């Protein structure tokens, strides 16, 4: 894989994570426990999908095949997506959704902070704009995890169950590979593994305040960001997200 191909893969990863997670969060629209949460989740989804537009728009430019951000979002199949497995996990209950959001947000903000110093001005510009939104995302999801974890016995039980369920998907965010190696060598992006220590420290503090116990296992599912393996959930998500464009190909608003 040459440098441009690796750069395209990296940009797809950056765009697919907020796209898939943003769609997941949007599924709460009209269904959240209270009106304030409904609005907050909808705004989070809009932020993430807006970031997707920038990342996949740049990916289309780098690829040079005439594909737009919309084409990359709506016309690729499951095996072409490069999001981490955590992002595609089902919403479950509200606690599971917020635990998934926090685990990703804490990684996302650390990554964007580093990308704002990228040697590529286009990447740095997108990151600098996105990190302002994600700083709010992580503050909100962290506060919610703490409030529910250290809340009632029922909310605590649900948050612990969510952490136990999602923890094995978190490690994939920090795996290094040939793509990340080329990006680090070019000064475009950090190796994901270099973010792990700061993420671990932040997550430990959060879970301590939430009175939740981090699982001891370091097992991590993998394959999402390389496209070698996705869960069955992504296929079901894409049938909902892409059906209009695929049914009426080329349709515009």
Domain 3-247 bears CATH identifier 1.20.120.1780: no
| Structure-derived torsion over alpha carbons of residues 56, 61, 67, 70, reported in degrees to the nearest 10 | 30
**pTM of the full predicted structure?**
0.97
Domain ranges of the chain: 3-247
Vertex 205: Cα angle to 204 and 209 (nearest 5): 115
Question: Does residue 82 surpass a pLDDT of 80?
Answer: yes
CB 82 within 8 A of CB 226: yes
State the sign of the Cα–Cα–Cα–Cα dihedral 16, 52, 133, 5: positive
User: Would you place residue 250 in the very low, low, confident or very high pLDDT band (cuts 50, 70, 90)?
Assistant: confident
CA triple 166-211-219, angle to 5 deg:
30
Q: Which of 107, 136, 105 is nearest to 195 (CA)?
A: 107
Neighbouring C-alpha atoms within 13 Å toward the C-beta of 34: 2
Indicate whether 220 pLDDT > 90: yes
Report the interhelical angle of 196-209 vs 94-115 (nearest 10°): 150
Assess contact for 188 and 10: CB atoms under 8 A.
yes
Query: In the structure, what pLDDT confidence band is assigned to residue 49 with cuts at 50, 70 and 90?
Result: very high
Percent of the chain with pLDDT over 70: 100
Residue 111: closest CA among 147, 139, 91, 138:
138
Token representation of residue 15: 């765009």
Quickly state the pLDDT bin for 249 (edges 50, 70, 90). Answer: confident
- Spatial distance between the Cα atoms of 215 and 208, rounded to a whole number of angstroms: 13
pLDDT band at 251 (very low <50, low <70, confident <90, very high): confident
Q: How confident is the model over 83-96, as pLDDT tens digits?
A: 999 999 999 999 99
pLDDT at 252 over 80: no
pLDDT tens sequence across 110-167 = 999 999 999 999 999 999 999 999 999 999 999 999 999 999 999 999 999 999 999 9
Q: Record the tokens describing residue 162, joined without a space.
A: 């969510």
């Amino acid at each position: 894989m040459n440098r441009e191909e690796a750069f395209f893969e990296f940009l797809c990863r950056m765009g697919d994570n907020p796209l898939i997670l943003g769609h997941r969060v949007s599924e709460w629209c009209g269904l959240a426990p209270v009106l304030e949460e409904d609005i907050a989740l909808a705004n989070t989804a809009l932020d993430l999908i807006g970031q997707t537009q920038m990342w996949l728009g740049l990916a289309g430019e780098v690829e040079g095949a005439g594909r737009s951000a919309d084409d990359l979002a709506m016309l690729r199949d499951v095996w072409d997506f490069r999001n981490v497995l955590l992002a595609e996990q089902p919403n479950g209950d509200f606690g599971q959704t917020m635990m998934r959001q926090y685990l990703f947000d804490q990684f996302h903000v650390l990554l964007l902070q580093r990308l704002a110093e990228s040697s590529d001005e286009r990447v740095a510009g997108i990151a600098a704009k996105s990190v302002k939104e994600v700083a709010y995302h992580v503050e909100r999801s962290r506060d919610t995890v703490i409030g529910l974890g250290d809340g009632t016995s029922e909310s605590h039980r649900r948050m612990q169950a969510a952490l136990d369920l999602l923890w094995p998907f978190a490690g994939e965010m920090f795996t290094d590979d040939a793509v990340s190696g080329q990006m680090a060598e070019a000064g475009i992006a950090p190796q994901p593994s270099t973010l792990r220590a700061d993420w671990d420290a932040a997550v430990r503090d959060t879970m301590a305040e939430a009175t939740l116990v981090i699982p001891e296992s370091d097992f991590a599912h993998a394959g999402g960001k390389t496209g070698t393996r996705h869960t069955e959930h992504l296929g079901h998500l894409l049938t909902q997200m892409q059906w209009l464009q695929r049914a009426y190909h080329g349709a515009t608003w």
